[in-house]
Amino acid sequence: MKKVTGIGGIFFKTQDPKQMKDWYQEHLGMKMNEYGSLFEFRTGDDGQKKGYLQWSTFAKDSDYFAPSAQNFMINYRVHDLEKLLEELKSSGVEIVGEMQVYEYGKFAHIMDPEGNKIELWEPVDEVFTKEYDGNTNHE
């Protein structure tokens, strides 16, 4: 089974998320949306199909990365999240919370052996194509 298909997001904690987003926009030219900066790419499986990677800042005291004590979290794009979670669970991987479903995809969290929380995302990229086209870093 194909598991990880790419990076879906890079998230990190900062003292002032808005100030950090403003700095990256001003100095590195990253266009921002309400969550951070959305990067568009073409998928390897189909050169015509768009995919997205989300770069986001979080407040230093955010508990979104818990139970990890790290100041970062990586989101991995996956294929068939429900089946992958079954495989991970049967392999003894710690699953944090329940899978969540949104119009833009399914999400779940796991822990790696060193206590890093990992976000798994089965995306619905078509939602981003409709909502964010023109507000991405694909220039």
Cα separation values, 72 from 29, 117, 123, 130, Å: 22, 9, 21, 29
What tokens were used for 81? 């999240």
Is the model's pTM score more than 0.75?
A: yes
Looking at per-residue pLDDT, the higher value among 110 and 46 belongs to 110
Asked if pLDDT for residue 136 goes beyond 50, the answer is no
Cα separation values, 117 from 16, 28, 67, 99, Å: 22, 28, 7, 14
Asked if pLDDT for residue 9 goes beyond 50, the answer is yes
Listed in order, strand segments (DSSP E) in the chain are 4-14, 37-42, 50-59, 72-78, 95-102, 105-111, 117-123
Asked if pLDDT for residue 3 goes beyond 60, the answer is yes
3-state DSSP assignment of residue 119:
strand
Q: What is the pLDDT of residues 20-71, one digit of tens each?
A: 999 999 998 999 988 899 888 887 666 777 888 899 999 999 999 999 999 9
pLDDT at 40: 84
pLDDT at 1: 66
pLDDT at 130: 58
> Distance (Å, rounded) from C-alpha 137 to C-alpha 130?
15
Domains of the chain: 4-132 (3.10.180.10)
What are residue 74's DSSP bridge partners? Answer: 10, 118
Q: Are 42 and 67 in contact (CB under 8 A)?
A: no
